[in-house]
Structure 1
Amino acid sequence: MIGMPDFLYRAKTASGKNTQGTISAASHREALALLTQQALFPLEVRDQSVSRFKIPFSIEFKRRIKAEVIADALTQLADLLANGVPMLESLRILADQTVDKRLSAVMGEIRDAVENGASLDDAIAEHSDVFSPLTVNMVRAGMEGAFLEEALERIAAFMRKQNELRGKVTSAMTYPAMLMIVGCLVAIFLIVVIVPMFETFFNRLERSGAGLPLVTIILLAISEVLTRFGLIILVGIAASVLAIRQWLSSETGSYVLDTVKLRLPIAGPIFHESAISRFCRVLGTLLRNGVPILRSLEISSASAGNKLLEKAIQDSAENISAGNLLSQPLADSELVPDQVMAMIKVAEESNTLDEVLVKISDRMDKKIERRLDMMVRLIEPIMLLTIGAVVMFVIAGVLLPVVDLNSAIE
């Protein structure tokens, strides 16, 4: 066994007890065979050399694979299959040629699973940290309906569209975020470094009987607090952020956050329309690929990214189970715009729901881009004015005592 790779495994014994460990084998298949010979039922077997960074207490950190990289891999798989390359050979080629090391290892594991008799969708489902439920269900529908290549192409196109919109949002918010960071650093530098340089002068003025202006008193108080307790304040802010994030990850916190996000004056409509757009695109894409509507609603509700909309979609699923239409519970929730609701109602009657939902998403994405552009144009001058006001406050606090002293001398 010297020189053979080690495989980590989780398995069940004949008595049903869970066990785990490592086993040396020439391949994934041989590792499975060795475990079976030991009367173990393998639950998970993976190469120990896969890129995972571990620290004590079995906590694992996995490097995230970019959506664009996954989309490229799915497109390549579709091309290989469309050109008559067998499934196992296609997966082997992807595992060998994929530049991303983690995705290469994942594709290798998927190939091993398929070689051992698993279906492609089941093999993909084992890697839920890489492939979304939408991908798994569209692959399953493609295999059942004999249009796997087309389903893979559609998944890739969907992922690229979502990634493109995410990139536009990120690029739109980069400049305002940089302005805010620079403004905060400038303000802290002025208050913590520059203002204390004048403290001796201000003290002499007070001892001479000349009072200090209110602006200067406030500025000195802020400077003293930040200088003395700056580290404590920083730790407190960090602890508060962690506590708030922990609370927001709970069911109640998520619901409150999503409610607040929808009510924000400028960003609220963007959050709202983004959630509607994601829901429509995911649902339309799933329905177009033959995924049953109840399963499609379950996946699309989780993909919406808003707890309020998710609840409305789940209510719609219950409505459909009772034999009614999708549109009624969505309309009752008052979360979906009237124009969108009208299009969904007509699409249900004409049996073109999948096409209409994707068209709705395309239109809303364009509307979101316009709103983002407008929001950035509003935020930029507001941030510049805020930074200017802080700088002017510091300058006024420093210079006003000098002006008052000159006036008193004259």
Structure 2
Amino acid sequence: MPDFTYIARDTSGAKIEGSMTANSEADVISRLTSDSLFPVSVTDAAASTKKSLEMNFEFGGKPNDQKMATFYSQLASLLENGVPLIRSLNLLKEQAKNKKLKEALNDVVARVEDGEELSDCFRRHDSIFSDMAINMSRAGAEGGFLEDALDRVGTFTEQQADLKAKTVGAMIYPMILASMGSLIVSVLVIFFVPKFAMVFESLRAEGELPAVTEWLLWFSDTLRNYGLIIVLVVGVLFAVIRSQLATEAGKMFVDRVKLKIPLVGPILLSLAVARFCRVLGTLMKNGVPILRGLEISREAAGNRVLSLAIEKAGENVTSGETLSKPLEKSGHFPIEVTEMISVAEESNTLDTVLITISDQLEKQTMRRLDVAVKLIEPFMLLIMAIVVLFVVVALLLPIMKMGQTVG
């Protein structure tokens, strides 16, 4: 188990610092609050440098998912240990290092003191607090299980943050390869190739320059002479296309295309289905009705094509149908997923099974992602090698021809 360092305050407000071995940050927070201590900060000792860098990076912007997961878990732990809501929010506001989160909590505290519901206060700052946090806090307040609802939001947010970090981390090396490859080719074509143009001038005048070399020289001349114009044209086209894709129809088109990309599409679909299942399962486990849960979870899917299928499924559920049938008809949900949902509906264990499905899909997705990255790396190296080989061959062919002529 990892070691954590912590800063906390006791009931008199005195500052206490220490360390302990625990399974997670949430475990440390729970143990501190059970000892009547109010956590101010909890840091993984092995990753303290990394955490510090993350904090500095996000200081001017909104807090990342990991920070929000910690916030939800801390708030849940404080409430569970009998600390009043306003006191809990004030404690978390004092320890918040992110400017936007501190400002949001300052407003939330003021409104809660005036009698406003916590969920309504969260909704006023929906760029900070997720839809799931807003709706779960409402359901928890109405059902008398607010601390449990917030704890589940914290767990879910942390899981999504970990999954996102793994996905981004897996793509870093391929992106570095692509960037380095583009840089190498650009340097070769713009600075190296023109030096050979004068050497090949005689062959070019006689029309004996190989076609591949002729094309390379033309490409090099075009980039050097019209590079700025090309960049401007590409920039304008990019801006126009981006504005079109920003429309609802454009976003739907992009989401549809994403799901059809070879190798990548199935991974994106699995992630979207996993998010939907986890959110819906968590909401239902906390007493949120299935129709309301579908409204919230369809947005959490993160893909408009899938969201539309979930919306249609909700309409069918309203008419008295089961959830599994319309999801299966949409063609976007794996057959094993819809079968598990069907069995769960019959056994009245839908909430538990949905979370199980999400766990399984996330594990499968990470395995697929690992395989995809392992395939992408050699593929990109091969592409880079082919491009560099093309440039080298295009330059060597006329040199060999000139050598034969001299010979």
1:118-150 CA distance string (max 9 Å, x none): 111111111111112111110111111111111
Quote how far apart the aligned CAs of 1:323 are: 2.0
Answering whether residue 264 of structure 2 is matched by residue 264 of structure 1, we say no
1:78 corresponds to 2:66:
no
Partner of 1:374: 371
Matches within 5 A, 1:130-279: 130-207=128-205, 209=206, 211-279=208-276
**Aligned-residue offset at 1:248:** 2.0
1:87 to 85, 101, 115: 85
1:399 is matched with which residue: 385, 396, 404? 396
Per mean C-alpha deviation after superposition, the further-off stretch among 219-228 and 83-92 is 83-92
> How far off is 1:210 after superposition?
6.6
Percent identity, aligned pairs only?
A: 44
1:296 aligns with 2:296: no
Mean Cα deviation higher: 394-403 or 109-118 = 394-403
Q: Which residue identity lines up with residue 114 of structure 1 in the other structure? A: V
Q: Which moved more, 1:157-166 or 1:235-244?
A: 235-244
TM-score by length of 2: 0.83
In 2, the alpha carbon distance for the partners of 1:384 and 1:196 equals: 25
Higher-Rg structure is: 1
Higher mean C-alpha deviation, range 176-185 or range 63-72: 63-72
Letter in 2 for 1:131: F
Amino acid at match of 1:181: S
Q: Aligned pair count?
A: 348
Q: Could you say which residue in structure 1 is the equivalent of 2:330? A: 333
Residues 133 and 206 of structure 1, relative CA distance in 2, 3 Å threshold: closer
2:40 is aligned to: none
The Cα offsets for residues 356-382 of structure 1, whole Å up to 9 and x where unpaired, read as: 000000000010011101111111111
Amino acid at match of 2:164: R
Separation (CA, whole Å) in 2 of partners of 1:240 and 1:368: 34
Separation (CA, whole Å) in 1 of partners of 2:187 and 2:377: 22
CA distance in 2, matches of 1:203, 1:406: 15
The 10-residue stretch of structure 1 (128-137 or 358-367) with the greater mean CA deviation from structure 2: 128-137
**What's 1:362 paired with?**
359
Per-residue CA distance 1:84-134 (angstroms, 9 max, x = gap): 211111111111111212211111110001011111111111111111211
Structure 2: how far apart are the matches of 1:76 and 1:281? 21
Q: Is the 8 A contact 2:210 2:397 kept in 1?
A: yes
Letter in 1 for 2:80: A
1:390 aligned onto 2:387: yes
Measured after TM superposition, the shift of residue 259 of structure 1 is 2.0
Name the SS for the 2:288 alignment partner. Answer: coil
Q: Which moved more, 1:241-250 or 1:286-295?
A: 241-250
Local SS of the residue matching 1:201: coil
The DSSP-based 3-state class of the residue aligned with 1:188 is helix
Show structure 2 runs of 5+ residues with no match. 1-59
Moved over 6 A (4+): none
**Cα deviation 1:56-98 (Å, max 9, x = unaligned):** xxxxxx8232011111111111121122211111111111111
TM-score, with structure 1 as normaliser: 0.82
Counterpart of 2:118 in structure 1: which amino acid? Answer: L
2:316 is matched with 319
Aligned with 1:189: secondary structure?
A: helix
User: 1:100 maps to which residue?
Assistant: 98
Deviates more, 1:183-192 or 1:237-246: 237-246
